[in-house]
Structure formats: C-alpha cells, structure tokens
Amino acid sequence: MKTSLQPRPAWVSHFTSRFPQWRSMAQMEDLPEFRSYLEREFPEGASEWSDGLSRRRFLGLMGASLALAGFCSCSRQPIEKLAPYVRQPPELIPGEPLWFASAHLLSGVARGILVESHEGRPTKVEGNPDHPGSLGGTDAMMQASILQLYDPDRSQTPLKRGIPSTWNALLTELLRPAARWGATKGAGLRFVSGRTTSPTLLDQMNQVIARYPDARWTIHEPAVNSSALRVVCNVERADVILAIDADFLGSSPAQLAYARQFARRRKPGDTMNRLYVAESAPSLTGAAADHRFVLGPDDLFRLPERIEHVLSGASDESMSWLGALARDLGNHSGRSLVLAGEFLPAAVHEAVYALNTRLGNIGSTVQYLPGLPEPAKALPFSDLVAEMQNGKVEALLILGTNPVYTSPADIDFAKALSRVPFTLHHGLYVDETATHCSWHLPETDTLESWSDAAAFDGALCLLQPLIEPLYDGISPHELLAALLGQPAAKSYDIVRGYWLQRIGGADFGETWHRALSDGVVAGQTLRPSPAVATSTPRTPPEPLSGEGLHLLIRPDPHVYDGRFANNAWLQELPKPLTKITWENAAHMAPSTASRINLKHGDVVELDFFGRKITAPLWVLPGMAEDSVLIHLGYGRTSAGKVGDGVGFNAYALRTQEAPWGGSGLQVRATGARHVFSTTQEHSAMEYSHPVRFATLTEFKKRPEFVHAIEETPAYEESLYPPVVYNGYSWGMTIDLNTCIGCSACIIACQAENNIPVVGRDQVMRGREMHWIRVDRYFSGPAEAPQILHQPVPCMHCENAPCEVVCPVAATVHDSEGLNAMVYNRCIGTRYCSNNCPYKVRRFNFFHYSETKSPTLKMQRNPQVTVRTRGVIEKCTYCVQRISAARIKSEVASRAIRDGEVVPACAQACPAEAIRFGNLNDPVSVVRQFKKDPRNYSLLGELNTRPRTTYLARIFNHNTEIS
C-alpha cells in the first residue's frame, strides 16, 4: 500500500502554531473535569445506573423486560378511525402540507415567515424569501414561535380576579364606564402596550385617542431603546464596517437581513468586506469580526471621537490600530459603515452620525430614517406610573406587555397598579402583571389572528391566521374595536377595512390576495407618525458612574426580555457564546475574576447602588476588564411550568436612569458554588484544530493550507471496497466564513425532526438531544481570544465508524450515501455513539417526547417518526425532504433539481452558510463549494470520509494591524 504521509513543508508550522483551539477555561488549563468530557462518550454519570443495583435485581429487571416485551408483541394492531372532510377545501390534499405567508414579531417589528400547515395545523416556520426582514432566513425565536402557539401554559380563558369569566362579562364591565369616559373625554383612561408597527393598530389607537381626547397611551418596550431615529443599513454595500458595541448580527429585528447581506460579501477575494468590532462583551458580531478590539465602556464611548480626530488630522495615531482603522475607513468613503450599539449613550450616536456623514456613508450604506411611529400624545412610562400612584388613573388597559416583571427596579409597578380601580391585562400568559390586575383577557397568538406590521426598513406586510384560536383569545384589534363601539368586529374585517381605506381601488381584492400570498404589501411602507416629530427624541440616558466595576445589562439572546421564558426550545438552546442552557449568569473576564479572587461558578452578590442580586459567575474570555455582563429575561415567577424560577432576575438592578447599566458595581463572593447546565464541554472531540482559519493574505499565498495542516489518508487507503453512487449522492458543506453562530439551525432542526427537550437536569448529564450543535471555540489569549463557531451535525461518513459496530444493523448506508438510522432495529447498545468520533449521536435515555399534552402533539411533523425511549437518533439530512422531492420529481418524470432538497438547518440559516445537494450533479451549488480550496473534512485524518465538510474561515485582516 502506498503511503500518503509526506513530510510536511516548513510553512505548515505557521498554521499549526495556532493550535490548540479550546472550548472552555477548564480545557485551556487542562483540568481533569474537561478530560472526562473529552475521553468519555457522555459526562460522568450520564450512562451509569446510579442506584446500587444488585445482581438479583438486575436479573429480575431483565426477566421482567423480556416477558413484557414478549407480551407487547402479542397484541393486534388497533383499529383506527378515518374521518374524511365533509366538504374538502379544494386546495387541500390530506397529507400534503400547504404554505401560508405571515410574519413573526420581535418587539413589534415583522420578519416575514412562511408557515407549513398540515390539515389546518401549523407545524413549522420558515423564512419568507420575498420579505425584506427575512430574505428567507429565520432566527431561533421565529423557529420557536410554533411551540409558543401550542404552549399548554398559555392563558385559556378570561379571568376576573383569578376566577374564570367570559369576554361578554368583561365587555359589560368595560363598556359601562366607557359611556362615562365619553363625557369626561377619557380622563383617567390609560393604556400601556408594547411597541407596535401595525398600521391598523396604530390607526385604532389614534381613533381611541380621538374619541377620548384625555386618554393617554404609553409604549413600554423593556429590551428596546426607542430613539427618534431609525438606522437602516445596507451592509452589502459596505467594504469596511466598524461596529461599536453594535451587535447587528445578533438578535434584533434586522439580524436576518444584515446577516445575509454580510455573508454575501464574505467570499475570500478582492470583494471581501472587512469587519472591525470594538466591544466590551463578546457578541455574535464580535465573533464574526476580522479585528475585534476589547474595550472598556469608557474607551468605547470615546472611540468615534478619536477616529474623527485621526481623520481630521488633529491627532497622530499612525502607529496604533486606531490609526490603521481610521485610515481604512477614510480610504473607503461612501463604502464604509460605522454602527453604534443600540444601548450606547446619545453622545456616541451623535459622534457616529457625524463620522458617517464625514465618510459620505449616509444614503449609501446607511440611512437615518424617522423612528417607528407612536400613537398620538404618548405618555412616558414614568409619568404614567406617577399618575397611577397619585390616583389619577381610573382604568388601565395593559396590552401584550408585562410591566410588573419588566419595570425598572425603582418603579414598584405592582403597588402602583393596586391604586387603579379597573385594571385589565391582555396577554398570551397569566403572567406577573395578569396576577396583579382585576381582569385578564387571553390574547390570540400571531398565528391565530389577522394583523399587519412593518419590517425594520418600513416595508409592510400582513399577518394571517393559520388556525382558529385554540382558546378564548381576543386580538388587540378586537379589543380596541370594542372600545370604539364595535364589540362584534372581527380582526379580519378590521385589518381588511383599514387596507381598503388606505389603498382602495377597484382591484383591491386582487391587491389583497397578492399581499397575502407574497407576504408583503407591494409598495407600501410605514408612514412616520406626526407625533414623532413633535415629541422630544428619547435617547439612551448617560450611564451611571461610580466606584467599582462596570455593569452591562442586555436582553437575553434567546428569551429576550423574558417574553419567551416559557418556550422550552429556547430555554434549552445553548447561548451562542457560553453554551449555557436553562439559566443566565454574570459574565466576567478571567483577569478581572482572578484579580478579585473569584472563580468560575462562584455565586456572587452584585451590588449596584444599593440594589442587590445574587448570580452565578461565568468567566468569559474576551470580556473587557472590570466589566460584568448580565442578561434580562430570567427569574420569572409567573411565566409557566417551563420558565418559572429559572435563573436570576436582572431587572432588579435596572433603574430608570441606568437601564443598560453603568459603573459602580460591587461584586462580592457569597461563598456558595453553582454548577451550570452548559453544553460547552459536551461532545468534545480529541482534535486540536477543528476550525481551520487563515488570513486572506495567507490564503492567497497558500490556498492549500487546510490540507497541509493535516495528513488525510489517500482515498485508496481503506479496507472497504469503494462504493459507487450512480444516482443521487447527497452531501453538505458548511461555510465557517459566513456562519455567525446564531443557532437558528438547531431550533429549525428541532421543529422539523420532532426533537424533544430534556430539561436542565438532563442537560447537565450531557443528554441533550439536538441533532446539530454549534461548537464554539476560543483560540489565542484568554483576554482577547478569537471566537470560532462550528455547526456539527452527523457527517454521514462514507466509512462510518458507527455502522460497523452496530450489532443489529440499525445504522446502515443507503444507496444515495446517507447514513440511515433505523429506530425499529435499534436496541440501544450505544456502541455507535461510543464509536462516533464527532459525538453527534443522541440516545433517548428516557421517553423524552411529550405525548400527553394534546396541543403539543399538534406541532409534530407528521413526516418524521416520534422516537421513544432506548433508541439512538441523529441527523438524517432531513431524509423526509429528500424522499418527498424524489417522489415529486419521479411522478413528474424528471430528476431532482439543484436546490429542491433543502434540509431544515440550511433553510433556516440567515447567512446561507449551509449548502446541501447532489454531489453527482456537476453543476450543483454544493459541488462548487466542495471544489473550493478551503474545503476540508473534520477529523479527516481518521479516514471517515464525511459527506459534510467545512470551508475554512478566512480573516480579512488589515495588514497594518499586527
């Protein structure tokens, strides 16, 4: 046999010197607890029988299971019922899904979706390629919205002081004083709602204010900094981007559009963009950066000004990175982009605006548009609370927001609420606010009712229901219509009525249907409300300053401001940068922690100007010195069975003048220790260089670097005979250069493949069931490491190590190259999982699939088997989608087209990092990516010949910055 092991050229050591990549501080320090993750299939205790099991008991159990298994097979298949339609809708064929365009709302802003519906039962959300807020991608929250619809903890009936009541009873009670409000012009009538971009709802709000002129409307949106101006970027046009604490690739209503635009400019070559990020806490944008500068908040605030000084020649920074950065921006006038983080003080935004003006970017890469519209005569939240405390509020209607939980700590909203005679909470859950109100009215989910909304850039779209309301829900449109004297009006008529009035025309019916089927209303954008021009612009207040550390308060990447806290998919989704599940943490840089003598996992007391909470400490490489990052959205008390009592409540440190933190934080150890439910060390592979990367210059010089750094055995070096694939041969590439690590693929896969959640305790035992995980590595020094993401699904190895060890042939290759998993054959030996070098196989240690709740059953994808206890499962390349496409193409007597089979992960990816297709098709997209010199196999040295391969990450470094 010819050997493939050639002596490696000397330049290779340049690349290998960057190894190893590490997953956690424990790995960097090579602590024994990490070794146990690495060397074992599951962490200690996951696969052991923890009871003291005697031989006698073992034999007893084995005998019993044998007997029971025997009896089980003796039953006949039960007779099932078939209930055909009475009148079958013409467009519907039972068993074949239909797709409807609608939108998902994040803090009121729309991202277009296409919803898959099986016989009237929505099961899966995909992005709408025609919608500017989605462009076909989705994020984790959009994917998880389907679970929220079916959440059994949703409010199901109106409540009067906690006792079930009816909508009619509420109407009677609501409309009685309404007559009086007519006389008093609505004095004492107050509304609080979250931010909305719905033109119909805004119109209704203004009608309410017109009818009751002394009534007032308050917008309370805890995780958003509403400002007078809305910044809309064209990331694709920008050659050089500087993000100052601006996480534009992280969770925000514009994330999907920006991520796609950004990814389109990441092809290594002359058109590749360059991203600089300066930030205090690591973010997804920071991880995607070519140059990431870790700066304390004070340095961040001064950064735009210092760049301005360099550009104007007022200061000489020729030697520093700042000078190089400023020159790079200056050299790309009109093609550069400077972004300021949403939570930075107003002065920074002004300086960034000035910088963009100077660079000629306005109108080219960035637009400053009027802020989102607000209802007329809006009342600030603090003024509302003052009125409530003074007894000036007679009736308070809270629409779709949860101020008792989300108010700043210096406002006791619950107490203020007790001074209001009539309080109504309208929301999806009986949450903290609902329990303090005299009335609670269930709200319809966005998938249950008609509405409309605007995307981040102002484009309008319609929301249409996919299902009749599951419970006695009322939409906000119907509630406001009742106040306007039309208690019987339906959302459909209200929304359609608004649009008929707005665009009208003889062909309105046609326009309406086109808008519904496209998911956007062509040519219609948000009209800035005149109220905005007159109201004083609300800008982020200056941060508090005092002696101590710097506190950063941010919305959580998954549960946001707490509104998604009862969504188990989002709770179990590892946070992008820490891989924490089911809780939040106080994050601190390693150097700061060691200076004040704190260790990872210590429970600390955070004292911010006398307000105290205790939180577990997470030592996060890449944090700025002397900064502590905490996330909102946890510590809820009335979220539901999933979200109650999870994590700590960061709102307790939040005040009106410092909603996003400031300096003056004292951190003290309490002496207690905390064990995190994190997956960052799970599935660790024995491998020093999972993510391969180079700078653009290095790549141009050595395009073959990915192969040089590892000795991959030659193709013929195998004991198995080669298999020839004549028909289709499926394969996947994952581009690490565009992957932003957002984790949308994980939830998309979970929704598509009926993957259960396992809960905090089981995650700690390493039993999470996600078929695709996103590994996050650090490389370099702990103070400012390079953060790397790598999604890892089943590789569908051609020489699959799992297949040869299965005693019952439960995992076998199919004739199109898939490594198939046959659940019915699986007897649960877990040999396959033990032999998988990628650690991508998941075992059902218990019956994790929730089969008791009638609503959760409705979410299941009918095309995928629901697994039971005792079987292994793993990524199938969405074989149900391949089968569907194969049958469809064969019925039409043609071959499957490229792009016809898109697995759920690839479909969800906002950055189009995952490509899938037929490797035997010479023109398929995936084939082109496989030919890319950056293409490499993970653990290729093992000769597993994975069908899923990676494209190396290329950094477009500024050569002036070392």
> Which parts of this chain interact with other proteins (CB under 8 A)?
74, 76-77, 79-88, 93-96, 727, 812, 814-816, 818, 820, 822-824, 863-866, 876, 879-880, 882-883, 886-887, 890-891, 893
- Cβ within 8 Å of residue 777, ≥6 positions away: 21, 22, 23, 690, 691, 787, 788, 789, 790
Cα distance between residue 620 and residue 591, in whole Å: 10
Q: How far is the CB of 879 from other proteins (least distance, A)?
A: 5
Q: Are 913 and 790 in contact (CB under 8 A)?
A: no
**Nearest 5°: CA angle at 325, between 320 and 331?**
130
Burial class (CB in 10 A: 0-12, 13-18, 19+), 857: middle
Q: Closest approach of Cβ 73 to other proteins, in Å?
A: 9
Beta carbon nearer to other proteins, 79 or 923:
79
Structure tokens at 307: 């760049």
Residues 6+ apart with CB under 8 A from 623: 280, 281, 282, 294, 587, 588, 589, 592, 629
Minimum CB distance to other proteins smaller for 383 or for 814: 814
- Minimum CB separation of residue 825 from other proteins in Å reads 8
Judged by CB, which is closer to other proteins: 76, or 852? 76
- Decide if 751 contacts 124 (C-beta within 8 A): yes
Nearer of residues 3 and 726 to other proteins, judged by Cβ: 726
Name the residue nearer to other proteins (CB basis): 776 or 886.
886
Minimal distance, residue 569 CB to other proteins, in Å: 21
DSSP for 401-456? --HHHHS-TT--HHHHHTT-SEEEEEESS--TTGGGSSEEEEBPPTTTS-EEEE-T
Distances (CA, A) of 27 to 16, 348, 838: 18, 38, 18
> Which is closer to other proteins, CB of 398 or CB of 882?
882
Rounded distance between C-alpha atoms, residue 395 and residue 404, angstroms: 16
CA-based R_g, the chain, Å = 29
Pairing of strands 366-370, 602-608: unpaired
Task: Rank residues 417 and 826 by Cβ distance to other proteins and give the closer one.
Answer: 826
452 vs 816, beta carbon nearer other proteins:
816
Task: Tell me how crowded residue 47 is: count the other CB atoms within 10 A of its CB.
Answer: 17
Nearest 5 degrees, angle CA 859-CA 844-CA 54? 145
List of E strands, 822-944: 842-843, 872-873, 914-918, 935-936
Count the neighbouring beta carbons within 10 Å of the beta carbon of residue 238.
26
Closer residue to other proteins in complex, CB, 94/129: 94
Nearest to 453 by CA among 199, 114, 253: 199
Instruction: Work out how close the CB of 888 gets to other proteins at its nearest, in angstroms, rounded to a whole number.
Output: 8
Beta carbon of residue 266, minimum distance to other proteins (angstroms, whole number): 34
Q: Of 460 and 878, which CB lies nearer to other proteins in the complex structure?
A: 878
Smallest gap from Cβ 665 to other proteins, in A, equals: 52
C-beta closer to other proteins: residue 894 or 931:
894
* Of 352, 334, 333, the residue nearest 342 (C-alpha): 352
Tell the smallest beta-carbon distance from residue 84 to other proteins (Å): 4
**Rounded distance between C-alpha atoms, residue 482 and residue 549, angstroms:** 51
We find the least distance from the C-beta atom of residue 828 to other proteins, in angstroms, to be 16
Torsion angle (degrees, nearest 10) of CA 391, 394, 398, 402: 20
- CB of residue 572 vs other proteins: minimum separation in angstroms? 23
Enter the tokens of residue 911: 């950055």
Question: Which residue, 54 or 893, has its beta carbon nearer to other proteins?
Answer: 893
8 A C-beta contact, residue 199 and residue 498: yes
The least distance separating other proteins from the CB of residue 731, rounded to whole angstroms, comes to: 16
Which CA distances in Å does 797 have to 588, 716, 930, 943, 947?
A: 40, 16, 15, 9, 6
Q: Locate the DSSP E strands across 460-601.
A: 460-463, 549-554, 586-588
Is the Cβ of residue 423 or residue 819 nearer to other proteins in the bound state?
819
Query: Which amino acid, 6?
Result: Q
- Residue closer to other proteins by CB (options 602, 816) is 816
Q: Which is nearer to other proteins, 119 or 898 (CB)?
A: 119
Question: Please, what is the minimum distance in Å from the beta carbon of residue 877 to other proteins?
Answer: 9
Token look-up 């080219």 returns 364
Task: Please spell the DSSP secondary structure of 64-76, one letter per residue.
Answer: HHHHHHHHHTTSP
* β-pair partners for 274: 240
Residues with Cβ within 8 Å of 486's Cβ and at least 6 positions away in sequence, in order, are: none
CB of 729 to other proteins, least distance (A): 12
Q: Which of 373, 245, 272, 358 minimizes the C-alpha distance to 307?
A: 358
Largest CA distance in the chain: 97
614 or 865, CB closer to other proteins?
865
Nearer to other proteins, 354 or 864 (CB): 864
Nearer to other proteins, 578 or 863 (CB): 863
Q: How far is the CB of 753 from other proteins (least distance, A)?
A: 9
Sequence letter at residue 316? D
Task: Supply the minimum distance, in Å, between the C-beta of residue 755 and other proteins.
Answer: 13
Closest CA to 802 of 811, 794, 793: 811
CB of 726 to other proteins, least distance (A): 8
Query: From the CB of 294, what's the least distance to other proteins, in Å?
Result: 47
Q: Which two tokens stand for residue 416?
A: 């203020």
Locus of tokens 């509304």: 191
Query: How far apart are CB 467 and other proteins at their closest, in Å?
Result: 18
Q: Measure the CA–CA gap between 460 and 132, rounded to whole angstroms.
A: 10
